[in-house]
Amino acid sequence: MAIETRGLSKRFGHQLAVDGIDLSVPHGSVFGFLGPNGCGKTTTIRMLLGLASASSGSISLLGRSMPADAAAVLPRVGALVEGPAFYPFLSGTANLHRFDSANPRSSEATRTRRVGEALERVGLAHAAGKKVRAYSLGMKQRLGIANALLAPRELLVLDEPGNGLDPQGTREVRHLVRSLAADGTTVFVSSHLLAEVEQICTHAAIMSAGALVAQGPLEELRRTGRATLHLSTPDAGAASDVLVRMGLAPLSGSGHGDGADGATVDLRAAVPDGGPEPERVVAALVGAGVRVRGFVVERASLEELFVALTGEGFDIAH
């Protein structure tokens, strides 16, 4: 595992901010770390990187114990935590030169090339000479990611990388994360932008009030959520009878009766875990003489799964 924790907890006085979590982040994954503000995401990330001490539990990064092996493992890890901080009176290029020169492991001979490549990779080559005080929040965010990429990284930890990005910047970061994963880098992304997470992540974990309430491959998490059958037919009465016989009772508010003069009626039914395969349902409907004009089974979105697990709303349009 690229990241593994066992019983990881953090207490501030009487407040338990992180409650015994067991994270498992596979090598090469794009891992979405999800949860509302105040749920313990950033505290967890700070413990992973050795920026805060754990009250109890263990942490392994890239197979090494943290914080005991921090000196050996952190040069292989890039991170952007709690937003970027730069010298506003210096250009983007000058800022990256200064940060890189502070790294005793970096090579001065390759610094100019590496800074240029990092700026190009995050889409800031055109603004490399501009003072950072003139950068938008989204540009500063991308500059922070560029700083994390000044050296080859096996693991990249990004805390809210989409914060403040316009649609173009969001697309660029999405493309960047995908390209890093394609190169074999494990990317750990803390975010509340579920639409973005669903597009780029292969795995995810959901935090609520300091506890880990779900984790795993994204497709498996979706399958744990509620599935809903949507059926369009002019024969709603006969269709309802078939669905009930198969254990798929139409949901309240769904269409009832037969469509007058062949008008289409839309029916919805909850599909329980272990319910009949869609092919069986369609075959039963057709066998009963039901005219099927539309049929789809939709899995719960990540947002719906989050609400079902935590009972909390989630801001998906930052």
Residue 236 main-chain phi, psi, to 5 deg: -65, -35
Say what the pLDDT of residue 316 is. Answer: 38
Encode 141-176: b = buried (16+ Cβ within 10 Å), e = exposed.
Answer: bbbbbbbbbbbebbbbbbbbbbbbbeeebbebbbeb
**Of the candidates 245, 250, 259, 244, which has an alpha carbon nearest to the alpha carbon of residue 231?**
250
Q: Which residues pair with 25 in a beta bridge?
A: 3
- CATH 3.40.50.300 corresponds to the domain 3-223: yes
Please list the helix, strand and coil fractions of the chain in percent, rounded to the nearest 5, in that order: 35, 25, 35
Q: Which long-range contacts (CB under 8 A, 24 or more apart) does 202-205 make?
A: 202/29, 202/30, 202/31, 203/25, 203/26, 203/29, 203/30, 203/31, 203/32, 204/31, 204/32, 204/33, 204/34, 204/302, 205/23, 205/31, 205/32, 205/33, 205/34
Q: Give the pLDDT of the chain (318 residues) as one tens digit per residue.
A: 999 999 999 999 889 999 999 999 999 999 999 887 788 899 999 999 999 999 999 999 999 999 999 999 999 999 988 767 899 999 999 999 999 998 888 889 999 999 999 999 888 999 999 999 999 887 888 898 899 889 888 999 998 887 767 777 777 778 888 888 888 899 999 887 777 777 889 999 988 889 998 899 988 887 766 778 999 999 988 999 999 999 887 876 555 555 556 688 899 888 877 788 899 999 999 999 999 999 998 876 676 776 666 665 544 333
What is the Cα–Cα distance from 30 to 185, expressed in whole angstroms?
9
Of 59, 10, 42, residue with least CA distance to 190? 42
Q: Return d(Cα 116, Cα 124) in angstroms, integer.
A: 9
Instruction: List the domain boundaries for the chain.
Output: 3-223, 226-299
CB-side exposure of 89: number of CA atoms within 13 Å? 0
Length of the chain as a residue count: 318
pLDDT for position 313: 52
Which candidate, 93, 120, 97, places its Cα nearest to that of 107? 97
Torsions phi, psi for 172 (to 5 deg)? -65, -45
| Cα atoms found within 13 Å of the Cα of residue 157, Cβ hemisphere only | 22
Record the tokens describing residue 29, joined without a space.
Answer: 């994954």
For the domain made up of 226-299, give the CATH fold: Alpha-Beta Plaits (3.30.70)
The most distant pair of C-alpha atoms in the chain lies apart, rounded to whole Å, by 79
pLDDT, residue 181, reads 87
Secondary structure E strands in 36-127: 56-61, 64-66, 77-80
Predicted TM-score of the model (pTM): 0.74
